Amino acid sequence: MELIRDQSIIAGYLTDASNTKGHAEALIRPRNAEEVAEIVTQCQQSALPLTITAFRTSTTGGPVPAGGWLMSTEHLNRILGPDHVEGGIILGEHQNTLEQESLHFPPDPTSRHECSIGASIACNASGARSFRYGPTRPWIRGLEVVLPTGEICTITRDTPLPDQWPAPSWSPPPVKHAAGYHPTHNLLDLMIGQEGTLGVITKARLRLTQRPLGRLSMIIFFRNLDATLEFVAAARQHATRPSGNLDDENQLLQTSDLDGLNPSAIEFFDHNALGMVRARVPGVPDAAHSALFIEIEHDGEPPIESWWEALMEHDALLDDIIVAEDDAGRAKLQAVRHAIPAGINEQVVQNGMPKISTDFSVPNSALPAMMEAYEKVPLTHITFGHIGDNHLHVNMLPTTPEELTQAKGIYRDLAHQAISLGGTVSAEHGIGKIKKELLADLVGKDVLTQFQDLKTKADPNWVLGRGTLLAGPV
């Protein structure tokens, strides 16, 4: 196992999708859990910070080191069986393999074709289909992890916390949520979403289901925001969604009962997003103010009639719907979806300023109020995302240092509004290094002290992920 100190090699590992920059004294790329344990033990004995990274798709700075050593899991990439994989494999590649075998692993973060499965578990990642299937958590049966002491453990939901580890005790907001340590007495659920601060995930046992026989995708345009939100409410009301009960196998794996309005994903694009699409892709109607991307799983017969009747009732632009039933339709649909992030990235480069993007979710009843706040953002911005879960990304695009400062202030104000409405400051991206103050605002001082106490008991020298999720011991 090579300890790499060549800074020209290390330089390729020192940032992530948030554009946070870091530094490290050395890089290690272990090939098995025993090598991971050796590294962790050495760092614990020397009180040397150790940051875990994979493919650096994080948007929060979590895998960016602030000194010490950096461990990449990229060589932990063996597939041991359809439901048994090492943590460094690419999530989307394994999902594609499963699909060929008529199997399905539902979590679908946007970065699934670039991120590792271990990192997606460590962040409890989700995505568009979390509307139906929830985040990663219910789809993990077991893990092999290396604890901060260097101990290698194989764990399930029957594995209790180590005796000296205090169990987190708090009530997360009842929304799509990925912030802080999960309140649990079992080690598996604590390891899911801990952002590399309490353990290194080396293997995973996955919960699989059967691949749906068919998927129909549509982009639907609406004349105004009110009609869009009313249709979202109607589609949500008729959706079949697993309960998330980890002990109820049948309910978790339910993908039938697909009658009527039953989407697996509902995504939103505002009028500014559609403006970017118009500049790159023909066919977006001039009358469109906003749009929805809908994915529908079916048993071979897509329920088009039910959808058409509902769309007529909600004043959708029926003649302009893009339906992906064949390769041509899918190509056009993908062109529309790709035009938005591509346009944002071009604007960021042109402005010479980073974008400031939100990751908040709120209860169903609070969506109109949150949408109103998003609409009032005074800076150039583009809003899109997982509206089925009331989870939208407002991408502010400042053009000057002064606007960047203003955008950061608006971000904090929107975060506090989400909290006041019963929501969360992180629906899917986690806390990382750049949202620690917002975590404190969300959970309060007493819960934050609980988290710090747990971290100290589990990792006496705060070796793993130092600076991620928590600022430091009290």
Could you please report the per-residue DSSP string of 290-330? Answer: EEEEEEEEESSS--HHHHHHHHHHTTB-GGG-EEESSHHHH
Going from N- to C-terminal start, the domains of the chain cover: 3-207, 213-329, 352-429
Q: How many residues does the chain have?
A: 474
Q: Which two tokens stand for residue 309?
A: 């009747």
Considering the four listed CATH numbers 1.10.268.10, 1.10.287.3510, 3.40.1180.10, 3.30.465.10, the one that applies to the domain covering 3-207 is: 3.30.465.10
Spatial distance between the Cα atoms of 468 and 123, rounded to a whole number of angstroms: 12
Q: Which two tokens stand for residue 413?
A: 């104000």
Task: Return the pLDDT at 410.
Answer: 98
Only one residue has tokens 């869009």, namely 228
Task: Return the pLDDT at 251.
Answer: 47
Task: Return the pLDDT at 253.
Answer: 44
What residues pair up with 121 in beta bridges, in sequence order?
A: none
| Dihedral (CA of 28, 194, 123, 470) sign | negative
354 φ, ψ to 5°? -70, 155
CATH code given to domain 213-329: 3.30.70.2190
Cβ atoms within 10 Å, residue 7:
13
Residue 219 contacts residue 267 (beta carbons within 8 Å): no
In CATH terms, the fold of domain 352-429 is: Alpha-Beta Plaits (3.30.70)
Residue 69 contacts residue 43 (beta carbons within 8 Å): yes
Number of Cα atoms under 13 Å in the Cβ half of residue 90: 11
Spatial distance between the Cα atoms of 438 and 411, rounded to a whole number of angstroms: 10
Alpha carbon separation from 41 to 165, 195, 197, 323, 453 (Å, rounded): 18, 19, 15, 54, 21
Cβ atoms within 10 Å, residue 226:
15
Among 61, 72, 53, which residue's Cα sits nearest to residue 430? Answer: 61
The ranges of the chain with pLDDT < 50 are 249-258
Task: Return the pLDDT at 21.
Answer: 92
Spatial distance between the Cα atoms of 337 and 293, rounded to a whole number of angstroms: 9
Where are the extended beta strands (E) located within 44-117?
50-53, 69-72, 79-81, 84-86, 103-104
- Same topology for domains 3-207 and 352-429, yes or no? no
Cβ-in-10-Å burial (0-12, 13-18, 19+) of 257 comes to exposed
Among 396, 398, 402, which residue's Cα sits nearest to residue 415? Answer: 396
Among 210, 314, 191, 308, which residue's Cα sits nearest to residue 254? Answer: 210
What residues pair up with 210 in beta bridges, in sequence order?
A: 103
Q: What global pTM score does this model have?
A: 0.92
Only one residue has tokens 């196998």, namely 249
Sheet holding 3-4, edge to edge: 3-4, 26-28, 69-72, 50-53
Greatest Cα pair distance in the chain: 67
Only one residue has tokens 């029957």, namely 158
Cβ atoms within 10 Å, residue 327:
8
Q: Which two tokens stand for residue 224?
A: 């105004």
Spatial distance between the Cα atoms of 417 and 358, rounded to a whole number of angstroms: 12
Where are the extended beta strands (E) located within 44-113?
50-53, 69-72, 79-81, 84-86, 103-104
Among 342, 428, 324, which residue's Cα sits nearest to residue 385? Answer: 428
Residue 131 makes CB contacts below 8 A (sequence gap 6+) with: 239, 241, 263, 264, 265, 266, 386, 388, 389
Q: Which two tokens stand for residue 64?
A: 């960016």
Number of Cα atoms under 13 Å in the Cβ half of residue 355: 26
Cα first-last separation, the chain? 36
Task: Return the pLDDT at 214.
Answer: 82
Cβ-in-10-Å burial (0-12, 13-18, 19+) of 172 comes to middle
